[in-house]
Structure 1
Amino acid sequence: MRRQHTAIVQLTLGVAAALVTSVFLAAPPFLIPTLTRDMGLDLSSAGLIAVLPNLGLVSMLVVWGGLADRYGERGALIVGLGLTTTAAFGAASASEPEILGIWLLLGGMASASANVATGRIVIGWAPLKRRGLVMGIRQMAIPLGVMISATTVPPLAQSHGISGAMLLPAVACAVVLPWCLFGLRTPTRATAEVPRATSQKPVNPYKISRYLHRVHAGSAVLAIPQFVLQIFGLVWLMEGLGWTAAAAGAVVGIAQFLGALGRVLVGAWSDSSGRMNIILHVSGAGVLVLLLLGLASYMQWDALAVALFVIATCLSVADNGPAFTAVAEHAGPFWSGRSLGLQNTTQHFAGFLVGPAVGVLLEHLNFSLVLGLSALAPAAALWLIPKKDRRYEHGAT
């Protein structure tokens, strides 16, 4: 009973830490209209600044994962969250795009700790038969963070500028930090999983099979439509459909909220149906919906296009929970930090490329074609993703 209570507390704190860092990471894309209007940046340059947190994230995920593997999740998370808070306040005080970009990059580097450590904490305290559900709840924090940014950052940026908008994630991180400081507990590794002799070392799961390589690759391509919709969805609604910033932000927020609920349902579903099986179903649905979205946008069927945008957004984030759970389950307790770091690295590297690349494409192609082309990503995932799950089974060398 005591362990169950502790697990609930750790899940709550893990979700809170993931939520506030997600708000920080998601805020810059919603500053794009302000960056182009007030700072005179073109769409490509604004898109680059918007993905700088993802670049920072990519550069440090494996490092934070290694620190969590060696020294424990609690210390890594608290230090990283404190640094993210500092960077968010720095971004709020920036008056030049270059300085803003530096703080966003540093904040992304620091927030990588939460991406890795909260996943390890949640998996470490969760019972085996509920790991998919629990990870789905934790993963729910990411789209919820995007939802908060989508509904608050555009109007804040319009009325108070970039500084006012960036105070939101800064204050949110500052509020959650002391709760994590006093409440987080590092999960105990199962005795059966600890090497029996000090000379033994845990086996590198990447040398056992290509399973993790394929999960990482499949998740990376599935992240492409997620970032396309997240970064440029607001721009499409405003410039393509002529919506106001508040109305467009509300639609993006609703889509992210529904995506968050979907992650929980999909996570619970994966506990009974298998992680890879669920990801393959989501990928197939994603191909169809993105093609229909591109067609509806081209035909100017606005109501249908908006509805499909919401569905596509939900599908684009639905695979994350089962994929993260599968990676942690296969990597085992001594490699899960680094493996989750690599999982996040591949996804956010794709996101880093999406910002400037799609910005350039949109200077030559219309939104409809770009949205339709995004269907190529889940189509590729159908070939990359393994067909069956593989859990931790390698012990030590």
Structure 2
Amino acid sequence: MKTSRYRWVILGVATFTQAAASFFVQGIGAMSVHLRRDLELNTTQLGLLQSAAQLLPLAGLLVVGRLLDRHDERWVVGIGALVVAVALAAGGAAPGYASLLVVLLIAGAGYSAIQPGGSKSVASWFDASQRGLAMGIRQAGLPLGGVLAASALPVLATAFGWRSTLVAGAFVALSGAVAFMAFYRRPPDRPSMPATSRVRLELLREPYMKKIILSGTSMVSVHGGVGVLTVLYLHEVTSMDSASAALVYVAVQCAGALGRICLAAWSDRHRSGRYACVTTCLAAVIIGMTVLTTPIGRSPVAACLVFIWLGFFGIGWYGPWVAYAAESAPPDHTGFALGLAMAVNQVAVILAPSVLGLLTDLTGSFAPAWALLAALTAVTLTTTARL
């Protein structure tokens, strides 16, 4: 039954697998200074590294969504994490930038299974009274992976070179795969999976799906911008040394993990529903991005506080968002609906880091990137309020 204590084991292993599979990619931002120096990259090329890991999930999430409606999450998620591990292990021999892009493309294909698969596994074990909190804890795995990566990978890159960070990422991803396949079980009261299930692209016409997609695309763009530009901004604009900037990035990821838990738990009790919590995050991001475009944002102290604020809301939004998405979908199409929403999000996930990096290179300033994210978020807030 869903009140079984084993649901907390499921939550723990799903969170760990999420953190393990996202470990390396979430650490790219923290290694931005090292990668730019060692591979002689500009900001656009650095953004493309983030985008490469998200390209194949554009189609992979839809495929995985269908698989999750037909097959056990245990094997879908476990095999996906294994693909991430194998790709990163091979990347330890990458000769340069181009091969690193290929490695991240393959790792991204494996990662396609982690987000929707882990989300569905947690949603199926927890009822509505605790689903937001559970989803928030599970989704905190992403920034927690970022915290660990930001703490460890720059140190490894300094001591042993950037290739060593891929090998470390492979071992971490492998541990996540083994843990999920060893401990995951389907809830005993869940009905058998249907042999066939009709694809429902008409879900895109539903008002709730429009809210999910619009808010998702704008906020993953914010997350991508914070991920790829935070350390560079602190280093180049506020004159902070790279080690201190990486520590701030750790704090940003910690704030994101805390936000995912707190905001999702709040959504369990919010009288206006879970989407009201997402709306709060949209408004908070607009404020933070606007401050970064002003002279206040050039102060090291102020910038650090703003990035932590953006970490809490600009990363923390995902907890209530994914709970809202899982609950809004038809019961027999939860996997496909999650995969569909996340696949549409992938367009922004792919484009945002490289576009923001290119905009920064072309203008010689970070302000246009922050202004673009603020404007995109403001349009989303206004539009979804009318749906």
TM-score by length of structure 2 reads 0.92
Contact 1:292 1:372 in 2 (8 A): no
2:366 alignment partner in structure 1: 367
2:306 alignment partner in structure 1: 308
Alpha-carbon distance in structure 1 between the residues aligned to 2:165 and 2:224 = 21
Alpha-carbon distance in structure 2 between the residues aligned to 1:356 and 1:333 = 36
1:162-197 residue CA offsets vs partner (Å, 9 max, x unmatched): 111222221111223222222111235655x999xx
Percent of aligned pairs with the same amino acid: 23
1:225 alignment partner in structure 2: 222
Are positions 1:332 and 2:316 aligned together? no
1:269-325 residue CA offsets vs partner (Å, 9 max, x unmatched): 101111111111221122122211221455x32211221111112110122111111
Deviation at 1:371, TM superposition (A): 2.1
**Residues 386/190 of structure 1: CA separation in 2 closer, same or farther (3 Å cut):** farther
1:278-289 correspondence runs (5 A): 278-289=277-288
RMSD: 2.4
1:250 alignment partner in structure 2: 247
Q: For 2:339, which of 338, 341, 365 is the aligned residue?
A: 341
Contact 1:156 1:164 in 2 (8 A): yes
Contact 1:136 1:263 in 2 (8 A): yes
Alpha-carbon distance in structure 1 between the residues aligned to 2:231 and 2:83 = 29
- Unpaired runs of 5+ residues, structure 2, are none
1:303-349 residue CA offsets vs partner (Å, 9 max, x unmatched): 11221111112110122111111111111332111211122223332
Are positions 1:261 and 2:258 aligned together? yes
1:174-231 residue CA offsets vs partner (Å, 9 max, x unmatched): 223222222111235655x999xx9996977617723213311221112212111111
1:377 alignment partner in structure 2: 376
2:24 alignment partner in structure 1: 24
Alpha-carbon distance in structure 1 between the residues aligned to 2:16 and 2:197 = 37
Alpha-carbon distance in structure 1 between the residues aligned to 2:149 and 2:139 = 16
Contact 2:16 2:176 in 1 (8 A): yes
Contact 2:203 2:337 in 1 (8 A): no
Alpha-carbon distance in structure 2 between the residues aligned to 1:46 and 1:200 = 41
1:1-397 correspondence runs (5 A): 3-187=3-187, 190=190, 206=203, 209-273=206-270, 274-296=273-295, 300-365=298-363, 366-385=365-384
Query: Aligned partner of 2:352: which letter?
Result: V
Contact 1:214 1:385 in 2 (8 A): yes
Deviation at 1:100, TM superposition (A): 1.3
Deviation at 1:242, TM superposition (A): 2.4
Contact 2:213 2:344 in 1 (8 A): yes
1:87-111 residue CA offsets vs partner (Å, 9 max, x unmatched): 1111222122221111111001101
1:53-96 residue CA offsets vs partner (Å, 9 max, x unmatched): 11133231111111111112111011111111101111222122
Contact 1:94 1:163 in 2 (8 A): yes
Alpha-carbon distance in structure 2 between the residues aligned to 1:220 and 1:160 = 37
Contact 1:150 1:252 in 2 (8 A): yes
Alpha-carbon distance in structure 2 between the residues aligned to 1:36 and 1:55 = 22
Contact 2:359 2:368 in 1 (8 A): no
Contact 2:2 2:125 in 1 (8 A): no
Alpha-carbon distance in structure 1 between the residues aligned to 2:345 and 2:160 = 32
Alpha-carbon distance in structure 2 between the residues aligned to 1:248 and 1:199 = 51
Alpha-carbon distance in structure 2 between the residues aligned to 1:60 and 1:386 = 31
Deviation at 1:6, TM superposition (A): 1.6
Decide which moves more: 173-182 or 263-272: 173-182
Decide which moves more: 10-19 or 95-104: 95-104
Q: How many residues in Structure 1 have an aligned counterpart in Structure 2? A: 384
- Unpaired runs of 5+ residues, structure 1, are 389-397
Alpha-carbon distance in structure 1 between the residues aligned to 2:196 and 2:260 = 41
Query: Aligned partner of 1:287: which letter?
Result: I
Decide which moves more: 235-244 or 5-14: 235-244
Contact 1:218 1:384 in 2 (8 A): no
Alpha-carbon distance in structure 2 between the residues aligned to 1:125 and 1:380 = 36
Deviation at 1:2, TM superposition (A): 8.4
TM-score by length of structure 1 reads 0.89
Decide which moves more: 274-283 or 10-19: 274-283
Contact 1:21 1:84 in 2 (8 A): yes
For residue 363 of structure 1, give the secondary structure of its aligned residue in structure 2.
helix
Alpha-carbon distance in structure 2 between the residues aligned to 1:241 and 1:159 = 26
**Residues 386/323 of structure 1: CA separation in 2 closer, same or farther (3 Å cut):** farther
**Residues 288/41 of structure 1: CA separation in 2 closer, same or farther (3 Å cut):** closer
For residue 269 of structure 2, give the secondary structure of its aligned residue in structure 1.
helix
**Residues 230/200 of structure 1: CA separation in 2 closer, same or farther (3 Å cut):** closer
Query: Aligned partner of 2:350: which letter?
Result: F
Query: Aligned partner of 2:336: which letter?
Result: R
